[in-house]
């Protein structure tokens, strides 16, 4: 009788521990997806006031570019129009490689090249959070691929980071800036894609309902970049969309998402940005 009680108690403790671990993963995934990774910026449909309530992650922005014509897909748990029928391994494979379960590559607008750096634990957390999304039936248009175009990987992000590496503030800042694909927008494009010689120099144009925005130089240049900005001014720009001169930044900069990041994470991103060589 005592043995049965002990076994039952041990099983209850183990079950509670597993539940707590899963809860921690979901919380971490929620934080990553809804802050630095800004997934809803593309995957949630937009209305005049922003994301359409009740439709989060059910399919979003569209792009009609020379290589492809695509719409950000539904990533809710709907089995027919979302990813509810995918396995965890298939979701991770897509995020690591950009290849769907049916073997078809996704468009290069999805920054999977920046996701190679994601730790195993954070990848588990992202998938755990996606599994909590309410299934919403919404079929987006099928993609049209005109010619191959691969997502590029920025220098230093070619392989997965370890937990030990994230203890260093600058490396942690690089990690966050990379999974947040900041330099996807803040590095100019050439005929063959991003030209990493001009890493962080900005200059890409983004037309939209806001008019046309141009990505800023975020190198340490004191005249063209943010080298003359204080840490507080950089933090304000990241989290509120207001630059050091009081001008309001335009989308698709995801400052509404970054506003919910921890002070520690913002501090480390700024610490990393301070290391980006000046480019004019």
Spell 58-67 as b/e; 16+ CB within 10 A means b: bbbbeeeeeb
Provide the pLDDT for residue 6. Answer: 58
Q: Where are the alpha helices (DSSP H) in the chain?
A: 2-34, 40-43, 88-97, 120-130, 169-179, 182-185, 231-240, 255-258, 263-273
Number of helices (H) and strands (E), helices first, in the chain?
9, 9
- CB-count burial class (<10 Å; 0-12, 13-18, 19+) for 224: middle
Residues of the chain with pLDDT under 70: 1-21, 49
Residue 65: its pLDDT value, please?
83
Q: Provide the 8-state DSSP code for 114.
A: G
pLDDT at 76: 98
Looking at residue 236, what is its pLDDT?
98
CATH of domain 162-280: 1.10.760
User: What per-residue confidence (pLDDT) applies to 17?
Assistant: 59
The residue written with tokens 């610490």 in the block is: 271
The 3-state DSSP class for residue 206 equals strand
Q: What is the DSSP letter of 67?
A: S
Rounded CA gap, 156 and 153, in Å?
A: 8
Listed by start position, the domains of the chain span 1-151, 162-280
């Amino acid at each position: 009788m005592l043995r049965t009680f002990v076994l039952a108690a041990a099983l209850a403790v183990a079950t509670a521990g597993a539940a707590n671990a899963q809860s921690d993963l979901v919380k971490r995934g929620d934080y990553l997806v809804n802050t630095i990774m800004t997934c809803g910026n593309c995957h949630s449909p937009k209305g005049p006031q922003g994301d359409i309530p009740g439709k989060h992650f059910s399919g979003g922005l569209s792009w009609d570019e020379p290589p492809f014509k695509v719409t950000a897909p539904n990533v809710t748990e709907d089995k027919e129009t979302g990813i509810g029928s995918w396995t965890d391994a298939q979701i991770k494979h897509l995020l690591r490689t950009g290849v769907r379960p049916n073997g078809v590559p996704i468009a290069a607008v999805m920054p999977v090249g920046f996701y190679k750096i994601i730790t195993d634990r954070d990848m588990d957390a992202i998938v755990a959070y996606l599994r909590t999304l309410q299934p919403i039936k919404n079929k987006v248009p099928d993609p049209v691929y005109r010619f191959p175009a691969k997502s590029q990987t920025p220098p230093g992000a070619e392989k997965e980071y370890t937990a030990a590496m994230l203890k260093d503030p600058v490396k942690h800042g690089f990690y966050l800036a990379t999974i947040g694909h900041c330099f996807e927008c803040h590095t100019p494009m050439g005929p063959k894609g991003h030209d990493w010689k001009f890493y962080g120099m900005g200059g890409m144009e983004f037309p939209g309902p806001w008019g046309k925005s141009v990505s800023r130089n975020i190198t340490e240049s004191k005249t063209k970049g943010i080298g003359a900005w204080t840490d507080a001014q950089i933090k304000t720009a990241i989290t509120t969309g207001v630059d050091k001169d009081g001008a309001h930044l335009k989308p698709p900069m995801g400052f509404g998402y970054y506003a919910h990041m921890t002070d520690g994470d913002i501090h480390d991103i700024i610490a990393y940005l301070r290391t980006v060589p000046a480019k004019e």
